[in-house]
């Protein structure tokens, strides 16, 4: 198997989370680096956990992040279909082969029986696994139970006292004892396969060369190796990615943490920052560089530089990285991505020049897209002035400052940063007022707050007409 073929195979049980994104990203980067094929496969065989609309959300999120798959739903090839619930006959066929060959057996134990069995094993401090009570059933007994309509599952008969040895491209040589593996259910009583059977069958039939998945599947690898062996197939290469950890080194959990990728995008994180940040959750480049475009990651990525140790999810680092992209991407790009947020607030964006200028100033002072729209409120719909601020504006010195600018702004010939700064300097010199007593009245009148961008920037964003109008509002008519 020479061609590199990898897959991201999520279950549609909710939104794509950070751990899933990292798995998808590493598969994507590896495929692109090796000129291989990146496949999306939907593992939807557990109908009890499936969330309506989750498949569409997964696909939309991958597309939004620029992780375009080569094969998958909507991009069919000879290996289709890519949704497991559409492949049930394949799993039943292979489960039957395993039964007929003696590698698997039917199990008629009820959920209540299994629960009681596990509780007894736990109370004795034993390894919790199925005790094979149905393995001793005769062919006649099995036929009678089936004829009577008893529900049953099909279990894999794992070998006893066997050491499974395999090479993991991140961890090196791994050895695991079969006695620490259960007789895994392969086919459930409803005819749907478990992950273990479906993944092995699909990975073989789709000619997957490398299984790149999370560390939580490491303990299942002996079962999968044995299934490949029973079915007479060559195993792929194994790659188990390190855990993603909280700052306290506990496992990052989608039940305990806000780890939905959509949630981060909705908060105003940029896709470039998310991709860059997640890429470094386990992988490290050959130098100390931290900022990469997706194309640069494709060129630099290698499985050899993925760590064994868990990766710390550092939100402060993500915020820093997002700020770097927010400040470095073209202003027009940031403005386009922010526009819907401004429109949702009801801001009038008919003056495109004002909008672009506001974005340019705001992005230097913000970390997230959502913060930009909040920052720019002063230019579009400033807050109502507080009583104390109104008193400040009506003070004699403040009135002098406002009146001087209301008189001199209309006759200013050029409307640029240098000309406005010269005008500010002239105002300070002529009025003999400086510091807070000079700047505060202007900011209160223009943006209804005592702190904001440099005065020339504020005047330029508002424009000459709007600036004069806002100043005159607090002068006697």
Q: What is the pLDDT, as a whole number, of residue 206?
A: 98
Q: What is the pLDDT, as a whole number, of residue 50?
A: 86
Residue range 285-311: average pLDDT? 95
Contacts with 392 (C-beta within 8 Å, 6 or more apart), sequence order:
398, 440, 441, 444
Using the predicted structure, report yes or no on whether residue 359 has a pLDDT greater than 70.
yes
Structural domain boundaries in the chain: 1-76+242-329, 87-241, 330-381, 383-477
Using the predicted structure, report yes or no on whether residue 256 has a pLDDT greater than 50.
no
pLDDT in tens, 86-141: 999 999 999 999 999 999 999 999 999 999 999 999 999 888 999 999 999 999 99
Average pLDDT, rounded, for the chain: 95
Q: Please give the Cα distance from 59 to 81 (Å, whole number).
A: 15
Please state which architecture CATH assigns to domain 87-241: 3-Layer(aba) Sandwich (3.40)
SS3 338: helix
Q: What is the pLDDT, as a whole number, of residue 217?
A: 95
Residue ranges in 34-77 assigned as alpha helix (H): 54-65
Residue range 332-350: average pLDDT? 97
Using the predicted structure, report yes or no on whether residue 257 has a pLDDT greater than 70.
no
SS3 282: coil
Contacts with 251 (C-beta within 8 Å, 6 or more apart), sequence order:
243, 244, 245, 310
pLDDT in tens, 452-463: 999 999 999 999
pTM for this predicted structure: 0.92
Residue range 148-174: average pLDDT? 96
Q: Please give the Cα distance from 165 to 81 (Å, whole number).
A: 33
Q: What residues are annotated to the active site?
A: 254
The CATH number fitting domain 330-381, selected from 1.10.3470, 1.10.150, 1.10.1040, 1.10.8: 1.10.8
Homologous superfamily of domain range 1-76+242-329? HUPs (3.40.50.620)
- Read off φ and ψ for residue 105, nearest 5 degrees: -150, 155
Using the predicted structure, report yes or no on whether residue 305 has a pLDDT greater than 90.
yes
pLDDT in tens, 263-281: 999 999 999 999 999 999 9
CATH topology classification for 383-477:
Arc Repressor Mutant, subunit A (1.10.10)
Using the predicted structure, report yes or no on whether residue 3 has a pLDDT greater than 80.
yes
In the chain, the percentage of residues whose pLDDT exceeds 90 is 92
**Same fold yes or no, 87-241 and 330-381:** no
Q: Please give the Cα distance from 235 to 257 (Å, whole number).
A: 35
Check residues 58 and 14 and name the one with the higher pLDDT: 58
pLDDT in tens, 115-125: 999 999 999 98
- The strand pairing partners of 39, in sequence order, are 7, 71
Confidence of residue 246 (pLDDT cuts 50, 70, 90): confident
* Residue 446 near residue 472 (C-beta atoms within 8 A): no
């Amino acid at each position: 198997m020479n061609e590199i073929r990898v897959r991201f195979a999520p279950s549609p049980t909710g939104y794509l989370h950070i751990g899933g994104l990292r798995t998808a990203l590493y598969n994507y980067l590896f495929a692109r680096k090796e000129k291989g094929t990146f496949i999306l496969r939907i593992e939807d065989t557990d109908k009890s956990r499936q969330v309506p609309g989750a498949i569409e959300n997964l696909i939309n999120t991958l597309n939004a992040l620029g992780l375009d798959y080569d094969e998958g739903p909507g991009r069919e090839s000879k290996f289709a279909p890519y949704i497991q619930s559409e492949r049930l006959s394949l799993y039943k066929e292979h489960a039957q082969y395993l039964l007929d060959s003696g590698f698997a057996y039917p199990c008629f134990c009820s959920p209540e029986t299994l629960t009681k069995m596990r509780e007894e094993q736990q109370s004795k401090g034993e390894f919790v696994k199925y005790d094979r009570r149905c393995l001793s059933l005769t062919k006649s007994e099995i036929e009678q139970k089936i004829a009577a309509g008893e529900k049953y599952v099909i279990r894999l008969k794992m070998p006893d006292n066997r050491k499974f040895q395999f090479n993991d491209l991140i961890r090196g040589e791994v050895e695991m004892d079969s006695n620490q593996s259960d007789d895994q259910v392969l086919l459930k009583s409803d005819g749907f396969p478990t992950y273990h059977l479906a993944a092995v069958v699909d990975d073989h039939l789709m000619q997957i060369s490398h299984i790149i998945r999370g560390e939580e599947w490491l303990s299942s690898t002996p079962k999968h190796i044995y299934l490949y062996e029973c079915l007479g197939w060559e195993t792929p290469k194994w790659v188990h990615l390190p855990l993603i950890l909280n700052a306290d080194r506990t496992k990052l959990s989608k039940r305990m943490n806000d780890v939905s990728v959509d949630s981060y995008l909705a908060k105003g994180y940029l896709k470039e920052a998310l991709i860059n940040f997640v890429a470094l959750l386990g992988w490290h480049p050959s130098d100390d560089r931290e900022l990469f475009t997706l194309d640069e990651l494709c060129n630099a990525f290698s499985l050899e530089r993925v760590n064994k140790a868990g990766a710390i999810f550092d939100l402060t680092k993500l915020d820093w990285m997002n700020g770097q992209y927010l400040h470095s991407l073209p202003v027009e790009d940031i403005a386009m991505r922010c526009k819907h947020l401004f429109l949702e607030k009801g801001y009038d964006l008919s003056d495109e020049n004002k909008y672009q200028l506001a974005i340019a100033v705001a992005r230097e002072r913000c970390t997230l897209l959502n913060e930009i729209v909040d920052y720019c409120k002063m230019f579009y719909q400033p807050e109502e002035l507080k009583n104390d601020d109104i008193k400040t504006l009506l003070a004699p010195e403040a009135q002098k400052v406002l009146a001087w600018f209301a008189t001199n702004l209309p006759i200013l010939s050029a409307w640029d940063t240098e000309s406005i700064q010269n005008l500010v300097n002239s105002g300070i010199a002529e009025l003999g007022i400086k510091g807070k007593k000079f700047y505060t009245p202007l900011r209160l009148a223009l943006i209804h707050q005592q702190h904001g961008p440099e005065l020339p920037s504020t005047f330029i964003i508002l424009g000459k007409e709007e600036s004069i109008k806002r100043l005159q509002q607090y002068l006697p008519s």
